[in-house]
Amino acid sequence: DPFRKPSYLFALVAGKLVAIEETITSGSGKEKLLQVWVEPADLDKTRHAMDSLIHSIRWDEQRFGLELDLDRFMIVAVGDFNMGAMENKGLNIFNTKYVLANPETATDTDFANIESVVGHEYFHNWTGNR
């Protein structure tokens, strides 16, 4: 991405990953590609994280007029990430605990935690990482 950032916000992830993708249209009519990257066996557990990201983006735009300033925004979930999540600009890195939810076994608390952490990390896009 073209944005200057503190060095601690630079991120690079490599691996055999697949993504769920959604394209949303901002209030100004710009298309934005959203992706949630995971290991192939976990792809079916990403829907709630994607919905949470979309909800957070829309809320930020409607409530504060803060449109996503990137054409592409990615979340990646890795099992051995030692923190809950990190708000790297355009590539948020998460522990799988805060992205993956099997609708048949996840609890309400699991879903709430995912929405909370996805929102928290996305909101850093405008508040805190400039």
Nearest CA-CA partner of 94 in 103, 84, 102, 104: 84
Which residues have CB under 8 Å from 112's CB, separation 6+? none
| Residue of 22, 61, 104, 121 with catalytic role | 121
Mutual orientation of helices 47-64 and 108-123 as an angle, nearest 10°?
Answer: 50
- Is 21 catalytic? The answer is no
User: What is the Cα–Cα distance from 121 to 103, expressed in whole angstroms?
Assistant: 23
82 beta partners:
none
- Return the structure tokens found at 65: 């007029």
- Return the structure tokens found at 63: 């409530």
34 beta partners:
22, 73
Point out the residues that are catalytic.
121
